[in-house]
Amino acid sequence: MVSTVLKELIGRTSQQVLQQILESTLLWYFGKKKSLWCPAAQAIGLLIEVWKGGLKGHIADIVKTAGNILELSIAAVETLELGVSKEEPVVKLWKEAYYSLAMLEKMLLSFPELYFLSDFPQAMWEMVVKFLLHPHAWLRNISGRLVALYFTTASEASRGADRAKMNQRTFHLVNPNKLYTIAVSFLKQLEACLIDDAAGNIITQNLAFSICGLHLFAKQRSSMPMHEFWSTLDDREKSSYLEAFDLLDSGKAERIFLLSAGVRRHSLSEENDENISSILVKPLFRRLGRIAITKENFQMKIVFNCLRMISSQIGREGSGDYAVYILLPLYKVCEGFTGKVIDDETKQLAEEARDRIKDVLGAENFIRVYKQIRKKLKGKRDHRRNQQKLVAAVNPMLHARRKLRVAAKHRRHHIKKVEAMKMGTRRS
């Protein structure tokens, strides 16, 4: 409400007075007093929304200063553990970085041509990607919104009248290396954070776009050996991929990439001739499936919406390449093999996503993959039962303790189910 009142006052102020306000605000923002950076960024954001023409000549200097502030904020986080957590530690300069990013968001909304101009440098977008794993939720959320704006603009430019502009200057974040880093960052958010509806929608949108982009890239390079792909990367891209593999705990992908550094062909033959799709895309689907099974119902809903969106965008052929990974978490939820309480709304969403993916795959392919998943899970279950029988014969005490643990788990499961039913009755 305060922001609305201030914008109304700015709209009723003369150009001469606004120019004086702008000059004073820029002095605050460009100065060395950190306490003035936040109010200056907020004031510049309001001026951008109301008085666009007055700031157009100052955009380059504002962006440069914002970049310096973001660099200082990133440096303040380097001593902390990489990744996100439920607890938000006190981090210096997080507020200054947040209001600077909020100002940049308003700038991009008011001046969409900045996506195509050098006034908004690539280094700025690289810092935005780093903020996806910032310890503070506000910075994670606003950087996610900026990435979503970027992807939306890239999509519109690729299929609209701005295609010529896009060809002149390729979008930086649509690079496969950045798409992979962004996808891994949002997966880490989905695993570790408390997420609201707005953040969940942003995560769904960005994950779907980045995974679909990686699928298209992998499809275009399907015949390229891994050592050739490695040779096309510069040192920064190689380092970025390896950091993303560490975040994703994808040890096999990291091993393949390290083997690819030695250009000998026979080194890679030991890894069963893995292609780009199996190294970059499939681990993302596997992690999505793991999140759906191990996390809370709200995160499961995000995963199901994401899988449905990806499947509809990559079509029948693309969905067929990853059908097992897409349908596995849906099968476990729909058939009751998750080992935990699933509320009716989440189960219904899983069934709707499964039916939508069935339409994309076709009935024949869907039934074939569904049977394959059922057979695989049955084989694992039979193997586990045989192992339990062997333990019962060899070590009866260990088997008895295990049965007690299972019985306690079933009691807890029953209590949760009864409580969920009672809550549903009260709401109705």
CB 28 within 8 A of CB 64: no
Assigned domain for 14 exists: yes
Assigned domain for 192 exists: no
- From residue 245, how far is each of 177, 264, 359, 398 by CA, in Å? 12, 22, 33, 38
pLDDT band at 164 (very low <50, low <70, confident <90, very high): very low
The pLDDT value recorded for residue 261 is 58
Assigned domain for 30 exists: yes
Instruction: Identify the domain containing residue 423 by its residue range.
Output: 400-428
The pLDDT value recorded for residue 256 is 67
The pLDDT value recorded for residue 113 is 82
Assigned domain for 102 exists: yes
Assigned domain for 319 exists: no
Q: What is the pLDDT of residues 174-195, one digit of tens each?
A: 889 999 999 999 999 998 766 7
Amino acid 129 reads V
**Domains in the chain: how many in total?**
2
pLDDT mean across residues, the chain? 84
- Quick check: helix, strand or coil at residue 64? helix
Assigned domain for 86 exists: yes
- From residue 198, how far is each of 144, 204, 347, 352, 372 by CA, in Å? 11, 10, 21, 22, 36
Q: What is the pLDDT of residues 107-145, one digit of tens each?
A: 999 888 888 776 677 889 999 999 999 988 899 999 999
The pLDDT value recorded for residue 272 is 47
Contacts of 91 (CB under 8 A, 6+ apart): 73, 76, 77, 80, 134, 135, 136
The pLDDT value recorded for residue 251 is 65
- pLDDT of 413 strictly over 90: no
- pLDDT of 428 strictly over 80: no
Assigned domain for 145 exists: yes
Identify the CA nearest to 186 among candidates 177, 195, 174.
195
User: What's the predicted TM-score (pTM) here?
Assistant: 0.83
Buried residues in 318-329 as b, exposed as e (16+ CB within 10 A): bbbbbbbbbbbb
Residue linked to tokens 């009751």: 336
Final residue of a structural domain among 119, 150, 167? 167
CB 226 within 8 A of CB 274: yes
Final residue of a structural domain among 114, 134, 167? 167
Assigned domain for 17 exists: yes
Final residue of a structural domain among 167, 182, 210? 167
Q: What are phi and psi of 31, to 5 degrees?
A: -80, -175
pLDDT band at 336 (very low <50, low <70, confident <90, very high): confident
Q: What is the pLDDT of residues 249-285, one digit of tens each?
A: 876 666 766 666 554 444 444 444 567 888 889 999 9
